[in-house]
Amino acid sequence: MNQKGIDKILEKHGYEDSSIIAILQDLQEEDNYLSENDLVYISENLPIPLARVYRIATFYNAFSLTPRGKYPISVCLGTACHVRGAPMVLDRLRLELGIDVGGVTEDGLFSLETVNCLGACAMGPIVVVGKDYHGQMTPAKVGSALKKYRKTSKE
Amino acid sequence: MKSINTPQELEKIRKEIVGGRDPEKPCIAITSGTSARAYGSEKVIDTLRAALKKQGLTEKIDIRITGGQGFDEREPLLIVYPQDILYQQVKPKDISEIVSETLLGNRIIDRLLYKDPQTGEKIVNKDDIPFYKAQTPYIFGNNSKIDPTSIEDYFTIGGYSTLAKVLTEFSPEQVIDIIKKSDLRGRGGGGFPTGMKWESCRNAPGNKHYVICNADEGDPGAYMDRGLLEGNPHSILEGMMIGAYAIGSDEGYVYVRYEYPLASENVEKAIGQLRDCGLLGENILGTAFNFDIKVSRGGGAFICGESTALMASLEGKVGEPRAKHIHTVESGLWDQPTDLNNVETWANVPLIINKGVDWYTSIGTEGSKGTKIFSLVGKVKNTGLVEVPMGMTIKEIVYDIGGGIAGNGTLKAVQTGGPSGGAIPASLIDMPVDYDKLKEVGSMMGSGGMIVMDDKTCMVDIARYFMNFLKDESCGKCTTCREGTRRMYEVLDAITQGEGKDGDIELLEELSWIVAEGSLCALGQTAPNPVLSTIRYFRDEYEAHIKEKRCPAGVCKALITYSIDEENCTGCGACKKVCPVEAITGEKKELHTIDPDKCIRCGACIAACNFDAVKVA
């Protein structure tokens, strides 16, 4: 993000170093990930050394230090989804997208992540694509679920 | 809303709101929590609004958008008042019929009613549905009565009257005494007596006292707190305010899990409403009580559900727990006395004070009073949130409320307590559920996840699953936890890959002891529970994997093969079509076969086959 944008976020949080997690969250909300420049700029403008900013950004799962896909895909691996076959759905997504968890497809359309429970267990297994929830997923449904996003992006 | 400065003004406003509402006026309630939204509830609501407008009914019929009402399997629910007709799994296309038939024609639409799978009977009223019948929804039941984003709605069910009573009639010591006598125990997992915690915190010296609501609900398969936060945030905030008064605190935090955006949003809204009408701030209701609450969103780290890690995170640090030889009630957030309670614990507080200790302690078992909300999930027919009195048996919960096992499987185990708990075998399901009984059988209450597992669930795979979770979520501070959970995972993973060796079970038991004894916080101390409980009750499954290289449940990929049953196969080709690696061959209307070398055992063919012809062995 440009420095002006970061300044705005820092201002919103009163340049409080204890708000560092919320600051990084706001930043990521805008850009989908945290760049090296973002982290450096934040450490220069808060009384926090870069090492600590980096430590926080890597400790919490919510943060990504690499750009994510246009449609980030999250596979819920909560216990309820697991016993209903979520690992098979994840395997199929790996195969279909040709990337592993943490990766981004070459066209930048999708990235693959897992989440430990979305708390919507009745619909398990759940796959979230962008902001859309896809419930009762099976390996066979993966292809058709992704079709829509591939199409939208071509238009 | 105008500011409310005295208890009398609060009562006046309540009377005005209640008086201005006609209980006979038709109202449609639609659930729209996270689960319902995932099923498309927002589109249903938009369609309903448009349909009412078209018919000129906007002024004549109210719409109430509620949080989840528990029965997630059937979301979105639509309830027509005052007739109290429950329609389930409602889609936008159903709306025009609901308007013309039920709202205008006063006729019930049969196909949208819940059908009892056992009797085949169609059920009209919510309370007659078996899922709801056996519940005692004292806490969660209010979700159905209110729009969580409306403080007026919360006023109509008596909201903040308990706070007013406490501030004007009770001393802080009296409040603590009531909570102590109620025997309320922490609903987050530990089960520590809440009244004692409050008392210790009140008595601890410090410049400032803090109260915290722990809404970092991280146990996979548990979402009771999300249900409450989304569906009735004011009940939690009222509990926190009563607690703050008792403890002598003027500042509180709600630490909400990162994965729960709607919960954060609804709590933020509720806090904004309270500030607007002066129920947060200085001299609340004209008394000397000052209090404010902030919401903090977590960073997606399971460990932050631990109290000291949560406080570190609130201070803007990484969420690492510390040793608790000095308790957080003495030195917590910013080294000040801090009381931290779970969402459900806070929500119990107004109820206890309102209904009295005698009423409250008449519910439950000797050591566990009141009700508990469980998330009943996994291989069960009626998935959802259920609130039952402590002491109800697992069997009653799974069969009477849950409707039994989904599909055609049989019950193998019920896992409680999340990654810190254990699996309870089917042979023990007549056991009453309370804090102490669950501990006796090697599990724990935890926050209330209850995951039903059937004969197609591999218990070694489940142990591996939890250890994978724990090794990822271990913060890394204690070597025993960081390296121990990793090593246990490696052993379990090897067993599921068919590479298990004699002595692996004993090695796991030894590692369990080290991880439990050598770790600072509950994550490490309880990490071995899923492994130890599955070894205790399902040792034969471990041995089948290790000695016979066989997965009895047909789950572990390295130990199973897929084949097509000659008798059942119709040659329809459905399996061939979905196979991603072209492992299936066969002509139309002839027997198909699977090439075991190509097959990746992804399960696609099993899901696609309508004739139960794909066999796993």
- Is A93 in the same domain as A146? yes
Residue in the block written with tokens 């406080």: B311
- Is B177 in the same domain as B321? yes
Residue of B nearest to A21 (CA): B316
Q: Does A68 touch chain B (CB under 8 A)?
A: no
Q: Is B132 part of a structural domain of the chain?
A: no
Contacts of B249 (CB under 8 A, 6+ apart): B208, B209, B210, B211, B243, B291, B339
DSSP B398: I
Q: Which of B65, B68, B74 is nearest to B131 (CA)?
A: B74
Q: Is A64 part of a structural domain of the chain?
A: no
- Is A101 in the same domain as A130? yes
Q: Is B338 part of a structural domain of the chain?
A: yes
Number of compact structural domains in chain B:
5
Question: Where do the DSSP E strands lie in B258-407?
Answer: 292-297, 338-342, 371-378, 384-389
Interval B458-509: pLDDT, tens: 999 999 999 999 999 999 999 999 999 999 999 999 999 999 999 999 999 9
pLDDT of residue A31: 86
At B470, the amino acid letter reads L
Q: Tell me which residues of chain A, numbers 11 to 30, contact chain B at a CB-CB cutoff of 8 Å.
A: 16-22, 24-25
Give residue B341's region: left, alpha or beta (phi > 0; psi -120 to 50). Answer: beta
- Is B187 in the same domain as B256? yes
Is B383 within 8 Å of A80 when comparing Cβ atoms? yes
pLDDT of residue B203: 98
Q: Does A137 touch chain B (CB under 8 A)?
A: no
Q: Domain of B591: which CATH number?
A: 3.30.70.20
- Is B269 in the same domain as B324? yes
Is beta strand B210-215 parallel, antiparallel or unpaired with respect to B338-342? parallel
The structure tokens listed for B47 are 């369609």
For residue A47, what are the domain limits?
3-59
- Is B172 in the same domain as B271? yes
- Is A146 in the same domain as A112? yes
Is A79 within 8 Å of B449 when comparing Cβ atoms? yes
For residues B281 and B464, what is the distance between their CA atoms, to the nearest angstrom? 49
- CB-based burial label for B563 (10 Å; 0-12, 13-18, 19+): middle
The structure tokens listed for B290 are 């000052």
Name which of A20, A22, A120 is nearest B297 (Cβ-Cβ): A22
Interval A17-50: pLDDT, tens: 999 999 999 999 888 899 999 999 999 999 999 9
Q: Count contacts between A and B (CB, < 8 Å).
A: 155
Is B465 within 8 Å of A79 when comparing Cβ atoms? yes
Q: Tell me which residues of chain A, numbers 35 to 54, contact chain B at a CB-CB cutoff of 8 Å.
A: none
Q: Is A147 part of a structural domain of the chain?
A: yes
At B486, the amino acid letter reads R
Cα-flanking dihedrals φ and ψ of residue A104, to 5°?
-125, 140
For residues B50 and A66, what is the distance between their CA atoms, to the nearest angstrom? 43
Q: Does A83 touch chain B (CB under 8 A)?
A: yes
- Is B254 in the same domain as B322? yes
**Full-model pTM:** 0.95
- Is B113 in the same domain as B55? yes
Q: Is B11 part of a structural domain of the chain?
A: no
- Is A81 in the same domain as A45? no
The structure tokens listed for B458 are 């591999």
Question: Where do the DSSP E strands lie in B35-83?
Answer: 62-66, 78-81
At B416, the amino acid letter reads T
- Is B273 in the same domain as B316? yes
- Is A12 in the same domain as A41? yes
Q: Domain of B113: which CATH number?
A: 3.40.30.10
Q: Is A65 part of a structural domain of the chain?
A: no
- Is A84 in the same domain as A147? yes
Contacts of B60 (CB under 8 A, 6+ apart): B25, B26
Number of compact structural domains in chain A:
2
Task: Report the percent of chain A where pLDDT is more than 70.
Answer: 99
- Is A50 in the same domain as A7? yes
Question: Where do the DSSP E strands lie in B417-512?
Answer: 422-425, 449-454
- Is A91 in the same domain as A144? yes
Q: Does A58 touch chain B (CB under 8 A)?
A: no
Q: Is A91 part of a structural domain of the chain?
A: yes
Domain-ending residue, one of B454, B481, B508: B454
User: Cα–Cα distances in Å, from B149 out to B59, B64, B155, B219?
Assistant: 20, 10, 12, 26
- Is B518 in the same domain as B605? no
Q: Which of A134, A118, A125 is nearest to A86 (CA)?
A: A125
For residues B459 and B441, what is the distance between their CA atoms, to the nearest angstrom? 16
Shortest Cα distance from A89 to chain B (angstroms)?
8
Contacts of B483 (CB under 8 A, 6+ apart): none
- Is B236 in the same domain as B349? yes
- Is B309 in the same domain as B403? no
Cα torsion for B100, B123, B223, B439, to the nearest 10°? Answer: 170
Beta bridge pairs of residue B28: B63, B80
For residue B524, what are the domain limits?
459-547
In chain B, residues with a C-beta closer than 8 Å to the C-beta of A60 are 258, 298-301, 318-319
Q: Does A79 touch chain B (CB under 8 A)?
A: yes
- Is B311 in the same domain as B343? yes
Q: Which residues of chain B have pLDDT under 50?
A: none
Residue in the block written with tokens 């936890």: B481
- Is B237 in the same domain as B351? yes
Helix, strand, or coil (residue A76): strand
Q: Is B1 part of a structural domain of the chain?
A: no
- CB-based burial label for B360 (10 Å; 0-12, 13-18, 19+): buried
Q: Is A66 part of a structural domain of the chain?
A: no
In chain A, residues with a C-beta closer than 8 Å to the C-beta of B298 are 60, 62
Helix, strand, or coil (residue B181): helix
